Amino acid sequence: MSRTPMALLSPADQERLRGLRRMKAVALGALIFMAVVFVIAFALEHRYPWLAYARAAAEGGMVGALADWFAVTALFRHPLGLPIPHTAIIPNRKDEIGRSLGEFVETNFLSGEIVRDKLSRTALSKRLGEWLQDPGHAERVAAEGSTAASAVLRALSDDDVQGLIADLAREHLIEPDWAPSAGGWLERIVEADAHRGAVDLAVDSISTWLHANAHTFQGLVSRRLPGWVPKLAHRFVDETVYHEAVRFVEAVQADPQHPARQALDGYLARLADRLQHDPAMRDRFEGAKAAVFDSPRVIALAAQAWDTAKNGLLTALADPESGLRRRAASAVAEIGRRLATEPALQARVDGWVTDAAVFLVDRYRHDIASIITDTVEKWDAAETTEKIELMVGRDLQYIRLNGTVVGALAGLAIFAVAHAVIPVPLGLG
């Protein structure tokens, strides 16, 4: 009988306990009934000889009931509290039973062939696809995935992420030498005249600025002239410089072979060569690169970029109507549609799942089965006995009841055969 308070049992265990108690009462009632029949028949058989048959049946029923009661009770505890050998089998051999159960599961269930055969006959991907293509299910998957992603983002330490980004940037951006690669790219750009567009854009921008900012040249040169130079000369000098600058820029715009353009081409070619072959230039370039990346402003911008990206993701993940959530749900539904309708994709996915399951079972079958063994070993002996008795005890009470009935029938049959073979007047047996 369960020693755990009823309120602490699960609803299923409470129902099992009630069923166990009912069957124990029925089995005990059958034993008491046989005892009453035996007492009455034993007391009155001299007056009513035919009661000898009832007595024989009752004797057999009591023997069968007591024998099966002893056998069933011996599984879980010592009958009547007596330390009889080979009783209380489950509490005394709990660990061995757990090991045997684990070995049984490992041998008969955790087999690659069994898993492959079962999965090969189960349309896993098709069923999954049919479930996923439902809009409600796709939205649910997207919502659960968003919740998980949000939890991961919130769990991440901003300092750790920024440190990781800095380490990755240093490993992949700062530590490698850029100069040779940059020089090679610049050389190919110059050889292909691919820089012409950029030069034209720069010249056009300068021209636009000059036409819009003529006043900027006022005093640009004249303020450096001696004080005795007339003011009119000051204005003349400033206007001359401005107009010369405009004419120079317009000449560069108009002439693709302008000396300034050729000089720029030569400078870029020399720069490309020095970046590839001049150690001093390469060191200067790498130093400038490191200074840019290590500057506080760049570090602050990187941290701000992470904060912005993180907050934006959290906002989008939390909003069911965000574009990210809608696209995620749409993508899940599309995956489901393809899984449900494309046999080739189904075959590939089923093959991947089956191979993965077989690999895991073959590699970790002992570890999986050891969960059963380790769990049973951790159980208290009394708790284990109680759990098993709640699971199978009700059915075992049927053995007691059946033993009572079969014992009664056997006793009656033995008595009848013996009386037929060796006739003895009834009432004298």
| DSSP assignment string, 301-326 | HHHHHHHHHHHHHHHHHH-TTSHHHH
- Give residues with Cβ within 8 angstroms of 275, minimum separation 6: 179, 180, 182, 183, 186, 281, 282, 285
Residues 386 and 262 reside in one and the same domain:
no
pLDDT score for 38: 92
pLDDT score, position 57: 92
* Per-residue pLDDT band at 214 (split at 50, 70, 90): confident
User: 315 and 391: one domain?
Assistant: no
Do 211 and 318 lie in a common domain? yes
Average pLDDT score over residue span 215-234: 62
pLDDT-based confidence at residue 424 (cuts at 50, 70, 90) = low
Whether residues 83 and 222 share a domain: the answer is no
Per-residue pLDDT of 299-316, as tens digits, reads 777 778 778 888 888 898
Q: What's the whole-number mean pLDDT along residues 93-121? A: 82
Placement of tokens 């390469």 in the chain: 282
| Shared domain check, 385 and 274 | no
Asked, for residue 100, whether it belongs to a domain, the answer is no
Neighbouring residues of 333: CB distance < 8 A, sequence distance ≥ 6: 132, 133, 134, 135, 138
For residue 34, pLDDT beyond 80: yes
Domain count, the chain: 2
Is the domain of 331 the same as that of 386? no
Q: What mean pLDDT do residues 389-407 have?
A: 86
Q: Are residues 274 and 156 in the same domain?
A: yes
Range with the lowest mean pLDDT among 245-249, 296-300, 321-325? 296-300
> What are the percentages of helix, strand and coil residues in the chain, rounded to 5?
85, 0, 15
Report the pLDDT value the prediction gives residue 1, as an integer from 0 to 100.
53
* Residues 230 and 306 placed together within one structural domain of the fold: yes
Shared-domain flag, residues 248 and 316: yes
Both 292 and 414 in one domain: the answer is no
**What is the domain extent for residue 181?**
135-335
Q: What's the CA gap between 422 and 416, in Å, rounded?
A: 10
Residue 64 lies in a domain: yes
Query: Which structure tokens are listed for 61?
Result: 């029923």
Residue that wins the pLDDT comparison between 383 and 334: 334
Assigned domain for 176 exists? yes
Q: How confident is the model at residue 13 (pLDDT cuts 50, 70, 90)?
A: confident
